[in-house]
């Protein structure tokens, strides 16, 4: 991923730094990750139900301020938060400390071909990250990173934005013919891949995953932008919730 994009992500977290050690911020990041938590719980109970949380190594990929990780660390899981933003991870560390929770934070670009976490995980959670990776080669590199970091019985779980026929594109953005959403900064930056759900299914299969769950959500399952909450649901992206494993 290019350094401009990493910088943009990092800058987006700077306003939250002043909220450090703030209970309101912790409450907010935990609340906003409840939807994903529900999915993770469902998969854990169904496929890893015989294992206690304390036995599980979990990584939240693109975790940002790591709301989901706070929930999972509280349950006793051994949690690693991975993000390319140092600022987000720093805020997460503060939130974890104020909650007396232990988590590991790793600042990493998961699309880098040499990205490595030096251990494998029972649950790798895509925390709304995959749709942030727009270019095909970077998506392939990320999915290969995931494969290499899953235990043989592990699951890759996540929730990702997908395309629908008619979509609202806010001013300052454009959607190209490959469903890449660009945003105008000083240059145009490829910000999101709002792929088609059937193509996403193929992408997972072609990347060597076995698909256990693949649910299409006609409604937008998570709020990317507070302004979107005011808009009719049928012109917002839909989403897919998935659970994959190694064959
Ligand atoms: C859409 S945000 C999601 C944040 C949070 N998990 C949530 O659900 O609200 C995507 C996150 O992924 C991080 N990110 C984007 N590209 C990345 C990459 N190539 N490697 C690691 N982290 C990345 C961003 O810094 C950001 O925190």
pLDDT tens for residues 124-176?
999 999 999 999 999 999 999 999 999 999 999 999 999 888 888 888 889 99
CB 63 within 8 A of CB 83: yes
Report the distance separating Cα 17 and Cα 8, nearest Å: 15
If you measure from the C-alpha of residue 50 to the centroid of ligand 1, how many angstroms do you get, rounded to a whole number? 31
3-state secondary structure 163-213: CCCCCCCCCCEEECCCCEEEEECCCEEEEEECECHHHHHHHHHHCCCEEEE
- Inter-helix orientation angle 34-47/23-32, to 10°: 50
The answer for residues whose C-beta is within 8 angstroms of residue 200's C-beta and 6 or more apart is 160, 162, 240, 242
The reply to whether ligand 1 has any atom less than 6 angstroms from the CB of 132 is yes
The reply to whether ligand 1 has any atom less than 6 angstroms from the CB of 85 is yes
If you measure from the C-alpha of residue 62 to the centroid of ligand 1, how many angstroms do you get, rounded to a whole number? 4
The reply to whether ligand 1 has any atom less than 6 angstroms from the CB of 110 is yes
Residue 63's Cβ-count burial label (10 Å; 0-12, 13-18, 19+) is buried
pLDDT tens for residues 47-75?
999 999 999 999 999 999 999 999 999 99
228: pLDDT confidence band, cut at 50, 70 and 90?
low
Residue 230 has pLDDT above 70, yes or no: no
Q: Which atom of ligand 1 is nearest to the CA of 138?
A: 19
The reply to whether ligand 1 has any atom less than 6 angstroms from the CB of 84 is yes
Residue nearest (by alpha carbon) to ligand 1 atom 20: 109
Residue 95 has pLDDT above 70, yes or no: yes
Residue nearest (by alpha carbon) to ligand 1 atom 27: 64
Number of other residues whose CB lies within 10 A of the CB of residue 41:
13
If you measure from the C-alpha of residue 64 to the centroid of ligand 1, how many angstroms do you get, rounded to a whole number? 6
Indicate the pTM of the whole model: 0.95
Residue 209's Cβ-count burial label (10 Å; 0-12, 13-18, 19+) is buried
- Long-range own/partner contacts, residues 117-121 (CB < 8 A, 24 or more apart): 117/59, 117/80, 117/82, 117/149, 119/57, 119/149, 120/57, 120/149, 120/150, 120/151, 120/154, 121/57, 121/58, 121/59, 121/80, 121/149, 121/150, 121/151, 121/154
Kindly list the structural domains of the chain, giving each domain's residue range(s) and its CATH number in brackets, ordered by start.
3-245 (3.40.50.150)
């Amino acid at each position: 991923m290019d350094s401009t994009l990493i910088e943009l992500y990092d800058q987006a977290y700077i306003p939250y730094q002043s909220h450090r050690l703030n209970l309101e911020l912790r409450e907010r990041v935990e609340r906003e990750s409840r939807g994903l938590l529900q999915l993770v719980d469902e998969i854990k109970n169904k496929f890893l139900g015989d294992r206690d949380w304390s036995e599980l190594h979990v990584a939240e990929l693109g975790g940002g301020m790591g709301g989901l990780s706070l929930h999972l660390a509280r349950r006793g899981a051994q949690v690693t938060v991975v993000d390319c933003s140092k600022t987000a991870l720093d805020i997460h560390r503060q939130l974890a400390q104020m909650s007396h929770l232990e988590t590991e934070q790793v600042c990493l670009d998961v699309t880098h071909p040499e990205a490595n976490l030096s251990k494998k995980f029972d649950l790798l959670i895509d925390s709304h990250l995959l749709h942030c990776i727009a270019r095909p080669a970077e998506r392939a590199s990320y999915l290969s990173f995931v494969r290499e970091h899953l235990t043989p019985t592990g699951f890759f779980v996540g929730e990702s934005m997908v395309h629908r026929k008619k979509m609202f594109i806010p001013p300052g953005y454009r959607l190209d013919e490959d469903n890449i959403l660009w945003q105008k900064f000083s240059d145009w930056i490829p910000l999101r891949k709002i792929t088609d759900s059937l193509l996403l299914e193929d992408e997972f299969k072609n990347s060597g995953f076995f698909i256990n769950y693949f649910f299409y959500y006609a409604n937008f399952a998570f709020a990317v932008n507070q302004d979107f909450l005011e808009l009719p649901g049928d012109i917002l992206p839909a989403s897919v919730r998935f659970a994959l494993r190694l064959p």
